[in-house]
Structure 1
Amino acid sequence: MCAAALILAGQPTQGQVAPGSAQNRAQLLGSQANPTVPNIAPSAENQGYAIASPNEKDIGEQQILKRIEEYKPFTVSVYSPFFWTSNVALVNTGEEDDVVVAPGITLMYQPRITKTFYAELGVVQQFFLYDRFSELNFGSLDAIAGVAYYLPQFHNLSLRARYDYNRLTDTDNFDEFFVNHSIILNAELPFRIGRAQQVFLGVALNLSVYANPEPPRRNDYSFYVGYDVALSRSFSIDAAARLAVRDYYVGDRTDVSEIISLSANYRIRDWLILSALSSFAWNQSNHSVFDYSVANVGGGVALTLKF
């Protein structure tokens, strides 16, 4: 089944559903539900090197770091978020709301090549299942291969490069309606504030090298900023804002998107987290028919094992 046929069949409003709507929905709803993919690389503490920080000059002693646990390269994560969404098909007129559940599983292998250089291999499968508009249901499969390099001497700058194979399918017969091969480049710079807070800045390039069909194919160029705070050993809050420019290969189309996300996370066990999730997005296009705004509010549970 071609993408255009699926989009038209799943259109719940009188507004036009843009090419790439399923991609946008997967990115908006999937990124919060599955934090393993946006920030695949292990943290500095787990890598075995100290986070750059000033010594305690007033007492003349070096800061003592906690004992570093043995590095575990394998990660298995199973999660099931749910959202109320204000604009189910990301259209500019005739918006309809709905409830969506997005269960998924992530399998990652991140072998350490050197002290600050890692390989990354992984598979992510997630489904997006709607309550009223079930014709919009779809699945998203990602196969990931890449590397991550850390520079502790440059304020713990992290650099990542990876190949991503993304395949979107319907949920009835798992027929493919879009496939994309892309190269993703990312640089992120963290700034620690005390022991429990962190601000980070980053840029990311998502460059499509092949897609079928062609109309949804695009390159994404984005800048983001985030803030993390641990209010206790079990409770944390994360916030992020992203500005993305999306340049489509077909139709002389360029979109600019602003995305704000906020989550509160409660760690019941090392392997079990409950979350309250929200995101808000605005899209402006040089073709106004593709403008939209959307709010997503919900929660989720995630089980993660490392070994």
Structure 2
Amino acid sequence: MNIVAGLPRSPRLFVLIMLLTGLVIGAAQAQNSTSNVQQADMARQQSVAQGAWGSNLADEDDDSASSTPAAPTMAGDEEYGEQRILIRKASWAPWSLEADIETLWTDNVALGSQNMEEDTYLRTGFRVGYSNRVVGNLFFNASWDYHTVRHSEYTDLDFDLGRGDIGLMYLLPKLKDTFLVTRYSYYRLSEAGLGTKLYDDHVASVGLQKTWKISRGQQIFAGLYADWSTAPEPWAAGRHEYSLFTGWRLRLTDALSLQLSYRGARYQYRTGERQDWNHVMMANVSYNITDWLRAGVTGSYTINRSSGPAFDYENFIIGAGLTAHFEF
């Protein structure tokens, strides 16, 4: 049925203009939604490539042999055997404050499947956290972090990313250094400088993570997580994530440490039209300049394989930065 042909010329022209205007607006909205999906993918992938998984795992092995030095020889050692000095630890500091700055280079800044473009970018941010025991083996955690990313060349890709977390951790009594984790997270991605919102979501998570202390200053860690997107905006950018990670951490000296890790994940987008397999290999070397300031060099390599070939990509990132960490 031709709704335009039966009208006088002026109304016919008016309807035609309205139809064309609707098509233009619809196309602009679709393009904007696609752009927001790409921006959300970029922001989340950069966070993953920074080693954001397993953040609740302990960095230190304070109860290892290195933290209980041997006592001096005393009379009676032959009878009672080698003794160790017990050191009273400082009072518990539930609050933490962290600020970091990194400069990084990537060979595929837009996560493209073809015509990959390299760029450098500056990543800065801060994190405030609170962690305390509720009762017995149950612990409460809450945090808020905010990061900015500013590119040297592709400034249209600049963004700010805020994230809030609140959750519980339960230490499983029969499995040493094993935690069951439940968490609620809120993400907000915006244009640079607290600009227009590009994407936000509420995410529910459950996970299991464990550390194995192999020897003095050496440990292996691993975990499983399921993250469910509950209210993404725009809807097409939301995705469920099912991931596993594992890694090896070695303290070379009191100040210098090395970490190698891998994360594999399945992404299921809320539209049901896209599913990805994502693999991230990461290496990090860090040096404690003081007890509160750390310098580090990080490299990561990502392989993403999607049900839509346009979303297949590989991405290499390397960078260096400083992190200041305080507890009180």
1:196 corresponds, among 213, 217, 220, to 217
Residue 24 of structure 1 is matched in structure 2 by: 44
1:118 corresponds, among 117, 139, 144, to 139
8 Å contact 1:120–1:147 — kept in the other structure? yes
8 Å contact 1:257–1:283 — kept in the other structure? yes
Deviation at residue 149 of structure 1 after TM alignment: 1.4
Which structure has the highest helix share of the two? Answer: 2
Deviation at residue 186 of structure 1 after TM alignment: 1.7
| Length, aligned pairs only | 287
Structure with bigger gyration radius: 2
Residue 215 of structure 1 is matched in structure 2 by: 236
Separation in 1, partners of 2:232, 2:261: 29
The one-letter amino acid paired with 1:88 is V
**CA offsets 1:20-42 (integer angstroms, 9 cap, x no match):** 4234334234x34xx6x741366
8 Å contact 1:280–1:295 — kept in the other structure? yes
- TM-score normalised by the chain length of structure 2: 0.80
RMSD: 2.7
8 Å contact 2:187–2:200 — kept in the other structure? yes
Residue 32 of structure 2 is matched in structure 1 by: 5
SS at match of 2:156: helix
Residue 130 of structure 1 is matched in structure 2 by: 151
8 Å contact 2:220–2:246 — kept in the other structure? yes
SS at match of 1:111: strand
Deviation at residue 108 of structure 1 after TM alignment: 0.4
2:207 corresponds, among 186, 192, 197, to 186
Deviation at residue 259 of structure 1 after TM alignment: 0.3
SS at match of 2:324: strand
Within the alignment, does 1:236 sit opposite 2:263 as a pair?
no
Specify whether residues 241 and 77 from structure 1 end up closer, same or farther in structure 2 by C-alpha distance, changes over 3 A only: same
Specify whether residues 236 and 196 from structure 1 end up closer, same or farther in structure 2 by C-alpha distance, changes over 3 A only: same
8 Å contact 1:74–1:306 — kept in the other structure? yes
Deviation at residue 201 of structure 1 after TM alignment: 1.6
Within the alignment, does 1:148 sit opposite 2:164 as a pair?
no
Residue 190 of structure 2 is matched in structure 1 by: 169
8 Å contact 2:57–2:211 — kept in the other structure? no
Separation in 1, partners of 2:322, 2:303: 27
Residue 325 of structure 2 is matched in structure 1 by: 304
1:89 corresponds, among 110, 127, 135, to 110
Runs of at least 5 residues in structure 1 that lack an aligned partner in the other structure = 11-16, 52-58
8 Å contact 1:41–1:148 — kept in the other structure? no
1:278 corresponds, among 273, 294, 299, to 299
- TM-score normalised by the chain length of structure 1: 0.85
8 Å contact 2:54–2:223 — kept in the other structure? no
SS at match of 1:21: helix
Separation in 1, partners of 2:269, 2:54: 22
Within the alignment, does 1:40 sit opposite 2:56 as a pair?
yes
Specify whether residues 42 and 236 from structure 1 end up closer, same or farther in structure 2 by C-alpha distance, changes over 3 A only: closer
Specify whether residues 190 and 174 from structure 1 end up closer, same or farther in structure 2 by C-alpha distance, changes over 3 A only: same
Deviation at residue 153 of structure 1 after TM alignment: 3.2
8 Å contact 2:61–2:217 — kept in the other structure? no
Residue 13 of structure 1 is matched in structure 2 by: none
